[in-house]
Amino acid sequence: MAKQKGIIKLDGTIGGITFYKSTQDGYLAREKGGVSGDRIANDPNFQRTRENGDEFGRAGKAGKLLRNSIRAMLQNASDSRMVSRLTQKMVEVIQEDATNPRGQRNVIDGEAELLAGFEFNISGKLGTTLYAPYTSTIDRVAGTLAVNIPAFVPLNMIAAPGGTTHFKIVSAGTEVDFENETFVVATSETAVLPWDTTATAVINLSNAVTANSTHPLFLALGIEFYQEVNGQMYPLKNGAYNALALVKVDGN
């Protein structure tokens, strides 16, 4: 892979060299080549490649379904590489499937708990933003996913980006049926609170999904930052530093 330099940027293939634009790295060039798709699909020597491809595709679909279930929250808290990072994590989940043969392993029989702690926004991690202690619980029988945060002083317990005047704690509980590609989600949030030395009240955020569900359950917790200008609240820097993470997972 090589970077394109100069005033004129190319896009396309010329003389076996493919020119293209990468969102992250700008204009690049690489030599066209590789094994044909037909050979990969039929040659016995590429059996492992096909198996890996099947599982990678399954991981991608699983990641997309999980993202869709909390899409409203991700619009305010995600980084440009989040999709690829989540897909890679889903691959790890699938690889823990000890029931099915290679190529047929899946999230349901894998280890969904490996997703616990996943940060959706590298630019604003929950682990280095919210220092107030909290407890997270999933009650599968009742179908509730909850976060409890004792009273805390925001200025002491929240590492807010410059320009912050207010914040909001948000949460989501989602029940994901990876086999049928459906989900049930519930969200909850606090009011917009001042980032100052006044202690908050106890915060209880509870999200109700299907009672006695047999599907994996995911509990997300996040924080959003605001700046007050002339009495109006504006998302700080379009939410670039908002944090959101999976704090508890029950794969059943």
Per residue in 115-173, pLDDT tens? 999 999 999 999 999 999 999 999 999 999 999 999 999 999 999 999 999 999 999 99
Are 144 and 184 in a shared domain?
Answer: yes
Q: How far apart are CA 56 and CA 52, in angstroms?
A: 6
pLDDT at 227 over 90: yes
Based on the fold, state whether residues 7 and 43 are members of the same structural domain: no
Q: Given 89, 114, 139, which residue is the final one in a domain?
A: 114
- Verify that 177 and 239 share a domain, yes or no: yes
**How far is 161 from 3, CA to CA, in rounded Å?**
34
Q: Say if strands 193-194 and 166-177 run parallel, antiparallel, or are unpaired.
A: antiparallel
Q: Are residues 9 and 119 in the same domain?
A: no
Q: Are residues 24 and 137 both part of a single domain?
A: no
Read off the CATH number of the domain in which 216 is found: 2.60.40
**Same domain, yes or no, for 238 and 140?**
yes
User: Residue 107 gets which letter from DSSP?
Assistant: S
Residues 230 and 146 in one domain: yes
End-of-domain residue from the set 58, 83, 114: 114
- Which three-class secondary structure state does DSSP give residue 168? strand
Residue 245, beta-bridge partner list: 119, 221
Token pair in block for residue 158: 């929240």
- Indicate if 140 and 95 belong to the same structural domain: no
103 and 135 share one domain: no
Are 74 and 141 found together in one domain? no
Instruction: Say yes or no to pLDDT of 25 above 80.
Output: no
**Domain span holding position 3:** 1-33
Token duo for residue 224 = 């959003």
Q: How far, CA to CA in Å, does 20 sit from each of 8, 84, 94, 170?
A: 12, 19, 32, 39
Q: How far apart are CA 107 and CA 116, in angstroms?
A: 14
Model confidence, pTM: 0.82
The C-alpha atoms of residue 38 and residue 252 are separated, in whole angstroms, by 39
The stretches of the chain forming alpha helices (DSSP H) are: 37-42, 47-69, 71-74, 82-95, 154-157
Q: What is the pLDDT of residue 56?
A: 86
Positive/negative CA dihedral, 193, 197, 203, 205:
positive
Q: What does the pLDDT look like over 37-78, one tens digit per residue?
A: 666 555 665 566 676 677 888 999 999 999 999 999 998 899
Contact between 174 and 185 (Cβ < 8 Å): yes
**124 lies in the same domain as 97:** no
What is the three-class DSSP state of 85? helix
How many Å apart are CA 154 and CA 225, to the nearest integer? Answer: 12
Domain count, the chain: 3
Residues 190 and 242 in one domain: yes
17: confidence class by pLDDT, cuts 50, 70, 90: confident
Q: Helix, strand, coil proportions of the chain in percent (round to 5)?
A: 25, 35, 40
CA–CA dist 169, 188 (Å, integer) = 9
